Amino acid sequence: MTLPRNVDDAYPLTPMQRLMLLHAISAAGNGVLLNQVCYDIYGPLDAEAFRRAWDALVARHAALRTAFLWDGLDQPLQVVRTTVSLPYRSVDLTGLAPDEREQSLEALRREDLETPLTLGRAPLMRCTIARLAPEHHRFLWAIHHLVVDRWSHGVLFSDLRARYAAYACGDTPQLDPAPQFREYVAWIAQQDRGAAERFWQEELSGVHEPTLLGIGVAAGRPRARLTTSRSLSRDATAALRERAGRWHTTPGAVLLSAVGLLLARRCARDDAICGVTVSGRPPHLGGAETVVGSFVNNLPARFVVRRDQPLDAWVRDVQRAQARRESFAHVSLGDIHAWSELPSSRPLFDTLVLLNLTNDSEGSWPGIELVARSATLDAGYPFILSAAIQNETLVLGLVHDDTFEQPGQVLTDLEALVERLCAAPDGSLVGDLVPATVDIAPRAAIPEVRAGRNGATPDAPLGTIADRLLVAWRDVLGLEDIGLDDNFFALGGTSLQAAQLFARVERTTGKAIPLSTLFAAGSVRALVAEIDRPIPRSGPLVRLRSSGTRVPLYAIPGIGGNVVGLGGLARQLGPDQPFSAFESPGLNGREEPLASIEAIAARYADELLRENTGPFHLLGICWGAAVAFEMATQLGKRGRAPASLVMMDPAALLRETAVRPTRVETAFIRQRLELYWDEFREGGWSDRGRLLASKAKRAAKVLTGAESLEQSQSELNQVRVREANKEAITRYAPGRLAVRARVFITADRDLGGGPDPRGEWLTLIDPMPGVVSIVGTDSGDAISPAKVGGFAAALRTWLETASAESP
């Protein structure tokens, strides 16, 4: 496979990465999802070995060399660079007075935290180290959440220690090859999305109200964020572990149960939801625990408070429910929300829970001690409730908007619930902790939005695309007073809502739009203009997918030259495969069809060379296989032979020298009657005569000019092209061709016995190409929505092989 310069790999985003990318783009460079970890390093640090270890770490793990591209692409891509330069800054502050040193350190920290990373430029991380004394350094590590999750930190620092130890001693570390994140992306593509949809629909069935820790619904990203913390005693932390062991569950399940009871009390109802961050690393994916990448996902956790249930059994149910949810953690929260019964304009929850109850102590460093000093924690939710073990004590934290007035009370209530869970006598019921009547402060009313399950407002106009998109805008944002020129993000649209809006737009228009389109357009009117913008074209060349890092593929469709049927194949080949196709001259009615394979091939070859200066593949389907063969012949004589020639169900070589022309009018009538056959066959006998008489009468009117040709002109053009294509193939006499080739043949076609006439093409190609059987009765069937996946997979494998072998 040939990739552009300094590109090692390229592949799609995970559902969660796509949601995070939307969130990052909508934040417009505000540094959202940029995490900063601060360390103190004590001892005689070998600064050169430390820096070399970081450079080696970037070279080892593809995630650290990954950038994200989306502008102008149908679907965003993560692109792994072959080599990158790690931003690494060293500052010496030993000459400053203590007060000045602290001021400089704080300025460095704030500058590092507030300077966003450019998503399209790898690496999405940087390092800053400040020398404070001969044996004291402060180290700042800024990393984007798109490429690395919390679990990856342990993997990275384990590698970092090994490399530093070797470099400090003048040795070369010996490490096994690192597993790469693309394996997880491929694993996600194989999962059953339908099963996930069914699970989450059942899981959230009956949820019609959001669960909100704060008053009202936060709009957009808060202006200022604060963190309030509370540490439990060591005795209380030990009691948590003891109670979890006695109940045959985990400390995390006990804490999550306490959060569920807290939300139920504050919302004064027995059905509450929060978000829970999960590692997302599937146990069935070999080596997932050692892969560096962003596996993390946020899932809704639902708590149904059953007051008459024993407390220990209820906590175990909470743990089992979370385990079931994690089996369907490969879909995004945007999809989960869309599958729920809650309108897009209303969040499922406003509180995200992060549990980190593992021992985070660093391993042994040679001659130095590296101690975590602080870390930022934010994920774009109004409230982030965390629980972590620090120095053998449980620390509860709440990240919140600076206008929230009750952070201390929330943590006090949560601490009390944890202590009551841990001290509850045997046989206690859930209702003993959450009484039926609770004293809850009055809450602000949440506005209702009249919408169906998927956001369709019953009384909204649905006539035009603009009307339907405006309905989507209103449903997703929960605002009725929106006009065609109002900007989605100026109205407070979030990244989660943007993801849901993208899905609505694609369902409404039937088109996949680039990720950047919504952000560039913003309003309904501007988006409609973008959607209606014609596909960039050059003569008969139609670019079905202009983006991608693989060797471009140029296709010639079957007889009639219509490229519309190739859309499914383009999608199945993936976002990294550039794919263009040639539409037969004459279909637009502005020129006469070409009547020889040589002339058609010459026209297409000129168009291809006009836009392509590198390697390329040719694909010919049925009749188009003859054109692709002739193109390869002509291009080879010009010194631009294709990397490979692919022929799918090539048309039989008829070699008729005398062709009886068919009147276009006769062919038109025949085609019309063929189109009506299915309708005729399904009707009753009393209707069939009337149907045929009606259709034949209308066709005759079209041909005699008694009816406007406007609606049927395209059909007449198609018939003219088909008849010209037939004449061209019967007059074509191909010669021998030296080219790397592969022939795909539909295995279900009934040829009536005898040798397959398509096999004659094999005798003309040197070396003789291999033949691959694909499912289908003919070429049209093989690229139909139901079967195109099989052909696309086989074709993609061949293209990768041929590209790798191409000189």
User: What is 624-654 written as a DSSP string?
Assistant: HHHHHHHHHHHHHHTT---SEEEEESPPP--
Please state, in angstroms and rounded to a whole number, the distance separating the CA atoms of residues 322 and 520: 39
Residues 186/187/190/191 CA torsion (nearest 10 deg) = -140
Q: Are 84 and 27 in contact (CB under 8 A)?
A: no
Q: What are phi and psi of 34, to 5 degrees?
A: -90, 120
pTM for the model: 0.59
What does the H/E/C string look like for 305-362?
CCCCCEHHHHHHHHHHHHHHHHCCCCCCHHHHHHHCCCCCCCCCECEEEEEECCCCCC
Token readout for 204 is 């959230």
**CA nearest neighbour of 181 among 99, 60, 266:** 60
Q: Rounded to whole angstroms, what are the CA distances from 491 to 188, 202, 220, 298?
A: 34, 32, 9, 25
Q: Residue 174 in 3-state DSSP? A: coil
Cα atoms in the 13 Å half-sphere on the side-chain side of 594: 17
Residue labelled with tokens 């939801």: 273
Distance of alpha carbon 139 from alpha carbon 155, whole angstroms = 18
Backbone angles phi, psi at 457, to 5 degrees: -75, 125
Tokens of 93: 């502050």
- The CA radius of gyration of the chain, in Å to the nearest whole number, is 32
Q: How far, CA to CA in Å, does 289 sit from each of 56, 148, 329?
A: 20, 13, 16
Give me the pLDDT at residue 284, please: 78
CB 527 within 8 A of CB 590: no
Report the C-alpha gap between 110 and 94 in whole angstroms.
Answer: 20
How many C-beta atoms surround the C-beta of residue 81 within 10 A?
20
Token pair, residue 281, equals: 């690393």
| Side-chain-side CA neighbours of residue 515 (13 Å) | 24
51 vs 57: CA distance, rounded Å: 10
- Give strand pairing partners of 80: 9, 66
407-423 helix and 234-246 helix, angle to the nearest 10 degrees? 50
What long-range pairs does 156-162 form, CB within 8 A, spacing at least 24? 156/57, 156/61, 156/292, 157/362, 157/363, 158/363, 159/57, 159/60, 159/61, 160/53, 160/54, 160/57, 161/362, 161/363, 161/364, 161/365
Distance CA 673, CA 750 (A): 24
- 10 Å CB burial of residue 104 (0-12, 13-18, 19+) is middle
Report the C-alpha gap between 173 and 49 in whole angstroms.
12
**Pairing, β 34-42 against β 136-144:** antiparallel
* Cα dist from 634 to 177, 621, 639, 648, 735, whole Å: 45, 18, 9, 20, 11
Q: What is the pLDDT of residue 513?
A: 63
- Assess contact for 583 and 648: CB atoms under 8 A: no
**Domains along the chain with CATH numbers:** 7-185 (3.30.559.10), 193-362+373-432 (3.30.559.30), 465-531 (1.10.1200.10), 537-653+732-805 (3.40.50.1820), 664-714 (no CATH)
- At 451 the pLDDT is 34
The amino acid that residue 429 corresponds to is: L
Distance CA 165, CA 52 (A): 11
The answer to whether the beta carbons of residues 449 and 345 sit under 8 Å apart is yes
pLDDT profile of the chain (807 residues), mean per 10: 70 88 70 85 95 94 92 81 93 93 93 87 94 95 92 90 92 83 89 91 92 63 74 91 92 94 89 91 83 91 92 94 90 90 87 79 79 75 87 88 86 93 91 63 36 35 66 78 74 69 72 61 74 55 77 92 74 84 78 90 93 93 95 96 95 57 43 39 43 48 43 62 87 92 85 69 92 88 82 93 84
Q: Which residue has the tokens 């202590």?
A: 419
Task: State yes or no: cis peptide before 767, omega within 30 of 0.
Answer: yes
- At residue 198's C-alpha, the angle toward residues 192 and 204, to 5°, is 135
User: Which residues does 246 contact at the CB level (< 8 Å), separation at least 6?
Assistant: 312
d(CA 452, CA 460): 12
DSSP helix/strand/coil, 448: coil
Residue 432 carries which DSSP code? Answer: G
CA distance 466 to 472: 10
Query: Going by C-beta distance under 8 Å and a sequence separation of 6 or more, which residues neighbour residue 466?
Result: 484, 524, 525, 528
